[in-house]
Structure 1
């Protein structure tokens, strides 16, 4: 019998570290956007991360993937898991606070459960999952406000763009489940990010004529952070936790990210969120905990 996936003390510490890394992404992206375009920022994020992960692959002496099929799988995964969500969320941060972006990003797990139930036969929507999804959607509505579609302005569009990014993440999860099982995680991440870099890099060159570099040390540090720490290192850490703790436990990282992003946004950018944003996060957190299952009595699980 295989060992039960569980949150060991080490995995818990690594989960908190991953939450800190991803929580800092939103501030670093916002600082970089003062000096480079959205497309250039995304290109730097996936490009440098891909190079670092290929270094890990070569250092470990892993065989390189061959064949058009596997690279087609990488390309679709890169589009769904990097190019679309990174671009939508980065653009959204031009108009909304970093903390608000992180709260909306927490709905990824909610959409993930719903899309998996629609696309995968063994991921049906149970009563517990339905309750978690409903609580999560209530949180989203509280965050963005029920009148968002009535007053459609750049801020409203930015919030919907971030939600679009979380929906893309959900479809990426289904794609990975169907076509990427059995691949070494580092190899899967390196291949995915390589295809992402080629796609967004080519689009950036066609649209802007160059891939601009940050002009200041602050911009360079922010770019380095979200490429090296929040993407390359975070992927290595994420897959390590996933192997030990399982997907349900790893999902709990989404509860750590928003508080980190909110605190950093307040300290560095003097951001202040509306009370409804905190109410929305509380409902989202409740939905995620219900999905996790451990907050319910055993007879309801």
Structure 2
């Protein structure tokens, strides 16, 4: 089950930094898409990040496994945690704003609760979790809008693509727990990105042709940020924060990413979100708070103390 220990000030600072970094990835995608198609945007991201992380693995002297079973697990993890979700988000961002994509991406935590309950015997679907899941999916429905679901267009398809990415992330979390538990986190990240590179580079060549050098100066900066900071660096920071704050507290990142992405999109791209996006995000946030349970427990404890 998710651990829910208290968060030290340093862990809060690094958790916030991680949210800021991943919030910037949505802006970077939007910038790169002006110069590249979605397939090469993802392929270059995972290729460069994989090279950086393998350099880190070599520098730390981490032993590299040789079993085919482990590399097969890396390949599937790369498909579920990188190739599918990165592609769906990047394709979706051709049709929706970066801020809206980041809000829908927060549904990952809701899917994660459902997948864990289906796959693991120690992850029971409690009443609180059921209420939280219901609130979360209600928020996603409000964000997309019932009219968009009735009349499918590119904008609604983009939103559904990001929800598909959230589901893929949740499946990746379950897969990692079942197959990669014995691997060093940094090695697992390098192996996963290698798997996604083996998938994405041929796919990009097939669908979009040979890659070219960036033609816009801002593309260089956005691509460097996306691969080096928001992927390779973020994975290293992720496992550091995981050790300090615990897996339960890392769920907060899915909420914290969205405000940063919305702010960056508004400043850099002049994006304006519809009011329903904020209302849906509020429902989604409420759902994750209910799933987490700590706020509700504190309220119950305070109520009991007041009665005494």
* TM-score interval for Structure 1 and Structure 2 normalised by the shorter chain: over 0.9
Are 1:149 and 2:152 an aligned pair? no
Matches within 5 A, 1:9-20: 9-20=9-20
Point out the more displaced range, 81-90 or 290-299.
290-299
Q: Distance in 1 between matches of 2:205 and 2:91?
A: 18
Aligned residues: 299
In structure 2, the partner of 1:269 is: 269
Whether the aligned pair in 2 keeps the contact of 1:6 and 1:244 (CA below 8 Å) is no
1:203 shift after superposition: 1.1
State the partner residue of 1:122: 122
Aligned partners of 1:89 and 1:161 also within 8 Å? yes
Question: How far apart in 2 are the matches of 1:188 and 1:203?
Answer: 23
Which residue is 1:134 aligned to?
134
Secondary structure of 1:84 counterpart: helix
Segments of structure 2 that go 5 or more residues without pairing to the other structure are: 302-308
Pair 4,28 (structure 1): closer, same or farther in 2 beyond 3 Å:
closer
* 1:64 paired residue number: 64
Structure 2 match to 1:52: 52
1:5·1:244 contact (CA, 8 Å) conserved in 2?
no
Paired position in structure 2 for 1:36: 36
CA distance in 2, matches of 1:290, 1:37: 39
Partner of 2:146, secondary structure, is: coil
Unpaired stretches in structure 1, ≥5 consecutive residues: none
CA deviations 1:237-273 (Å, max 9, x no partner) are 1111111211110110112111111111111111111
The equivalent of 1:169 in structure 2 is: 169
Verify the 8 A CA contact 2:37 2:208 in the aligned structure 1. no
Q: In the TM superposition, what are the counterparts of 1:1-301 in structure 2 within 5 Å?
A: 5-297=5-297
Listed one character per residue, the Cα deviations across residues 35-84 of structure 1 (whole Å, up to 9, x for unaligned) are 01100000111111111111110010111121211000000000000000
Structure 2-normalised TM-score? 0.94
Distance 1:147 1:182, change over 3 A: same
Scaled by the length of structure 1, the TM-score of the pair is: 0.96
Runs of 4+ deviating beyond 3 Å: 3-6, 298-301
Shift of residue 5, structure 1, vs aligned partner: 4.0
8 Å contact 2:289–2:295 — kept in the other structure? yes
Deviation at 1:287, TM superposition (A): 1.0
Is residue 78–residue 196 contact of structure 1 (8 Å, CA) maintained in 2?
yes
